[in-house]
Structure 1
Amino acid sequence: MKFLGELDESSLGRTQRCNRRLTDPNRLQAIRDTGLMDTPREEAFDRLARLAAEILKVPLTIISLVDAEKQFFKADFGLPSPFRETRELPIDASLCRYTLEGESIISSNAPADPFLKFHPSTGPWGIVAIIVLPLINPEGHVLGTFCCIEPKVREWTQHELTVMREMTASIMTEINLRNQITKLKTEQNLRDTFVAALTHDLRTPLTASKLGVQLLARRHGELPGVQAAVARVTQSLDRAERMIQDLLDASQVQAGKRVSLKVSECDFHAIAVQALEELSAVYPERFVLKAGGPLNLVADPIGLRRIIENLASNAAKYGAPGTPIEVVLSRSGEHATLQVINQGNPIAGDELLNIFEPFHRSRSATESAQKGWGLGLPLVRGFAEAHGGKVTVTSSAEAGTCFTITLPLQATSPELFPARARPEHGKEEKPTGFLS
């Protein structure tokens, strides 16, 4: 653009540097990523423009975005017509474009300023005292400006400059939070699509493998070792299917959704016995089940089993080798409680804060030889909460690590089927050890 006079060397250098920034594709992409260009007014930004005008006692404040073609007024206080209606200014008439190097424009008397006095918008806009602060994103790109204008000479105080800088930071906080939310939504959609495609593609060969194993058992089941081999392969395929389902459920949990349940009347004690017996084939003589007999619930039996499997296998993997792992079932009032207790190195206090987050693995788990995806504990919490229950954990060198699941005797998740009649419950008996 043409200035109305000859700029000094410093001012000329500034215009040239900012002009190069004007069409920087990375900067322009950052502006597009905000999703704010050419959008309606929003109270979140209008409020800050009004507040600045009130605190500084100025007649005009503007929040702008500056791309390669125009300056767009996202919010303002006191903007005159026709700009209040059009909400934009051609880039050649923009003063704010000269902050694109990250430098502010601050003047108490623009007509006497060696740079501002030659800018063609100074006179028509009645610009005398002005503060223009760049809106800089975390990557260092200038998206636009926050400015206030006074039509008379005014010496800006340090307090007024501090107010403008703090409010500029608030504008960028709003923009950055919106960007993060948009990115998270995009990542969530991509993750959901990836998980759905991956699990579908994995299940197809697993189904084919199961059919092949079943056919082998029917045709050659009488041969020595065939049935045992078929059983081992089938167990491995079943485990692979459970891992796929874990991935799907963990994706739901991370997206803030509840895992789906299929509830029925079931015996928590019988489920625990079966799950621990199967785990004992991998971790022999590790589990001690303490219970007072049948513990009837209206719940998802598969979900209960997966809670026990994840907690018990984690305890076996990461607890002190060779030490017993206690699995305690009890009832208190209208709730059932499951506790899984192991000895060994305690979980650090800072790790306990994030231990139930999907794909999070504690330092001890990462440093150990045990492999894992960090899905087990998030799924435990997901199933507990889907039943209307909760999970807690305590860990110390003296008492060991204890995961506690508390569940209602009848699942209370709002997504479940209509309530069913509760089964009859006998009186609670004192826990006794009977499985090791």
Structure 2
Amino acid sequence: MSESATPYDRSDPARLLSLRMTELLDAPPDEVFERLTRLASRLVRVPAAFVNLVDDRRDFLQSCFGFGEPLSTVRQLEETTFCHYALGRGEPLVIGDAREHPVYRTVPAVTSMGLVSYVGVPIRDAQSRPLGTFCVVDYHPRRWTDDEVQVLAELAASAEREIRLRLERRSLLDARQSLEHALREQAAERAFSATVLNTADALIVVSDIDGRIVRFNRACERLSGYSQEEVLGQHFTLFVDSADAPDVVEMMGDLAAGEYARRSEHEWVMRNGTRRRIAWSNAAIAGENGEVTHVVASGIDVTEQRELDRLKDEFAAVVSHELRTPLTSIRGALGLLAGMHTDTIADDRARRLIQVASRNADRLTELTNSILTIERLRAGRGSLDLETISAGELLVNAAETVAGSAEAAGVSLVVQPAPFSLVADGPKLAQVLVNLIGNAVKFSPAGSSVEIRAIRQGGHALFSVQDHGRGIPLDKLDTVFERFRQVHSHDAREKGGSGLGLAIARGIVEQHAGRIWVESELGVGSTFLFTIPAEEKAV
């Protein structure tokens, strides 16, 4: 092997980092190294021994036994040294008389200090990166024996073990500090999360994938009468009414399997036995590997709101029943007047008033019928008349029902083929589609289109009605299906409608054990979708 120092990279960042982590550079002589160099000097009878560490610009004599001034105080050499050649060889360098060697004779240790003979053994870290040498020198030529070289190699191995122990201790210390820092951050994050959870007005419950409670905020404690300590580890259904428990367990299972956020509503049984109606928004939390680890449920107490809804529904139903009979008489009378011969009603203004009265009587009749339909759906009255129907014919018939109003609004209806059948209540599903298509036409600009589709997905049928209107704000996507709700307060005046069409659609879909929702983007349009169970049968 040629006499050079090139096989190791003096500026290697990993090597320099390892050197710095020893904390030996620019440090006082290490006690262990002092003992080893003193022992080396005595065992092989040399005037000087030292541990030399090599960074990117100098040699640092960490321990120097036997050297006098000025080397023992300066302990830094920036010239080329024997150690560079030892590290370049990657094995012990043994020099009997440097003055007779064409390369070593020019080393400053020879020309300036009068050193003649040298043995240097490389010291490496655990990754075999060279950090320095364990060396002995003499002012006279030496015939180094194998035993002497072996003794020096063993002493160098002891120095190497000390350096590696220092690096391990430093790594452990760094790991401990990192862990302590992470734990402090984790504790601070937990404290922050606990503060947020406990100051929230909403009920917040966090469960693991088995449904066991791991967090239970103050709002839950106040409402339920249980403390967090009492419920930790208990199953979420501890508070759920037994009639609702199977649905809740099924929903929790779906969320644990990675299903998207779900909304639910069920009764909570308090510690004192009272019951409260809670509306929940549930979502799954995934870990770093993407697997669901927890389910978080955020709820609000809607007991009073639901009671008000019930009273409102009962009032509306009573009023509707009471209005239905007189409205029938009024419509009949107006129909007779409108059907009279023009000679009988010569006044054009009177005829227009009769027409206006007839239209408004029709609107009132439609409203009362819608309210009664909502009441029947809410109360669970009215069975489904199930039959096998063609999805394609269902779409076409619903579109034909709305075709007149669509033509008047300048909106085209596009019905996509749907070559499959399903078992459902045909007239009721037609009402759902008519309501959705009519709603889409109402909010579509002239010249645009409404696309109507139905596809089969496994054991379900998916229906969609897509418009290209103004879209629905994100915070209104759920409320549009509530009774008497409009996206904007002025819609009832400008667009007409009672605000019951979507509520009726939802009631009918849920009566079919289905689900209805809307996807929307402001300025782009909205797509109303619903799924219901369907048999696998093509037509």
TM-score between both structures, scaled by the size of structure 2: 0.37
Q: TM-score when scaled to structure 1?
A: 0.46
Q: Higher RCO, 1 or 2 (CA under 8 Å, sep at least 6)? A: 1
